[in-house]
Amino acid sequence: VTALLKFTRTKQGQYEWIQLVGHPGTFKEGLHEGYVLKALSEKERRCCELLQNDLLKDFVPKYNGTVADEEGKHYIEMEDLLASFKEPCIMDCKIGVRTYLEEDLDTSERDPEPRADLYEKMIAIDSTAATEKENEEKKILKPRYMMWRESLSSTEELGFRIEAIKKSRGLMSKEFQRIKKRDDVQQHVIEFIANSIPRAIQYLNRLIELRSICLQSKFFQTHEIIGSSLLFIHDANRASVWMIDFGKTRLLPDNIHLTHTQPWIRGTHEDGYLIGLDNLILIFKEIIND
């Protein structure tokens, strides 16, 4: 599960969180105004730090170091991207042709313990997906689940999937796990932007800029970016998009250089980041030109 959260102040000045999806307890109000805390992962912290001095700086939340709470739990403090929006609409798109690391596959294969929780998750989405043996055991292997999941959504083909959408004041929806077809994805994007062409143009321009910065970025050249999202945010006045979630982003070994555009073959570490970004750019272009 992923989380799509909304941190805003109510009229009484209380901090209001609307958690749309995900690990409850991962996020907390920041120590500083306009910042949030996310449970610390050392790998993500390292990325946040590097990104502050990279060309991609303006496309990621500002990073303000780590903090510990009363219970000794550690967090990274980062800019709350929603802070400057009024009643924002939010869309989380997970980028890449896969959302697990090669090392996750290796690990899950080395220690093949079938899991009941993954079995439950699978049949909740598709009651016919499990094999007879899996149905008997009511458990499945993690690599099997991971690969099955990517084929359900647009991840494999489009290099991104919509994880969740929250429309201003509207209900949030996370029923996107099975949206696979390009036309369906586009339809959800159109609904998300409420069919506004000016809004689509703002998003498109920002995505095009992001693409060109990616090609020059040292960080982008040296990392495998898995499970990271583009967070689309707009309100009545403004639309913009940022990169978030670097928990599964990894520094590449010296001998591996990614194109970010070639399909993934195990061992290549290709993440398909630019496949997803290019498809998003095309989708916005089509929306504008239609």
**Which residues sit at the interface with ligand ATP, rule CB under 6 A?**
2-5, 22-23, 26, 36, 61, 78-82, 90, 92, 227, 229, 231, 244-245, 247
Check residue 2 for interaction with Mg ion (CB under 5 A): yes
The two tokens of residue 162 are: 């919509």
Contact residue for Mg ion among 245, 270, 271, 278 (CB under 5 A): 245
Nearer to ligand ATP, 80 or 134 (CB): 80
What is the number of the residue whose Cβ is closest to ligand ATP?
Answer: 2
10 Å Cβ neighbour count for 264? 18
Q: How far is the CB of 40 from ligand ATP (least distance, A)?
A: 11
Cα within 13 Å of Cα(285), Cβ side:
8
Which residue do the tokens 């910042």 mark? Answer: 35
- Sheet of 63-68: strand order equals 27-29, 35-39, 74-79, 63-68
Q: Of Mg ion, ligand ATP, none, which one sits near residue 22, judging by CB under 5 to 8 A according to partner kind?
A: ligand ATP
Stretch that binds Mg ion, among 26-34, 47-55, 108-116, 237-245 (CB under 5 A): 237-245
Q: How far is the CB of 87 from Mg ion (least distance, A)?
A: 22
Contacts of 232 (CB under 8 A, 6+ apart): 90, 91, 92, 93, 192, 203, 239, 240, 241
Cβ atoms of 227 and 245 closer than 8 Å: yes
Q: How far is CA 205 from CA 30, 270, 283, in A?
A: 30, 26, 13
Which residue from 146, 152, 149 is spatially nearest to 180, judged by alpha carbons?
A: 152
Measured distance CA(263)–CA(265) in Å, rounded = 7
| Residues near Mg ion (CB under 5 A), total | 4
Q: How far is the CB of 27 from ligand ATP (least distance, A)?
A: 6
Nearer to ligand ATP, 4 or 89 (CB): 4
Stretch that binds Mg ion, among 113-121, 204-212, 244-252, 280-288 (CB under 5 A): 244-252
Q: How far is the CB of 37 from ligand ATP (least distance, A)?
A: 10
Check residue 44 for interaction with Mg ion (CB under 5 A): no
Measured distance CA(160)–CA(272) in Å, rounded = 9
Stretch that binds Mg ion, among 100-108, 230-238, 239-247, 268-276 (CB under 5 A): 239-247
Nearer to ligand ATP, 56 or 81 (CB): 81
Q: How far is the CB of 78 from Mg ion (least distance, A)?
A: 13
Amino acid at 85: F
Nearer to ligand ATP, 37 or 129 (CB): 37
Q: How far is the CB of 255 from ligand ATP (least distance, A)?
A: 28
Check residue 22 for interaction with Mg ion (CB under 5 A): no
Query: What residues between 194 and 233 interact with Mg ion by CB under 5 A?
Result: 229
Q: In sequence order, what E strands does the chain have?
A: 5-9, 15-19, 27-29, 35-39, 63-68, 74-79, 89-95, 160-166, 172-173, 223-226, 229-234, 239-244, 248-251
Q: Of Mg ion, ligand ATP, none, which one sits near residue 79, judging by CB under 5 to 8 A according to partner kind?
A: ligand ATP
Residues in touch with Mg ion (CB under 5 A): 2, 229, 245, 247
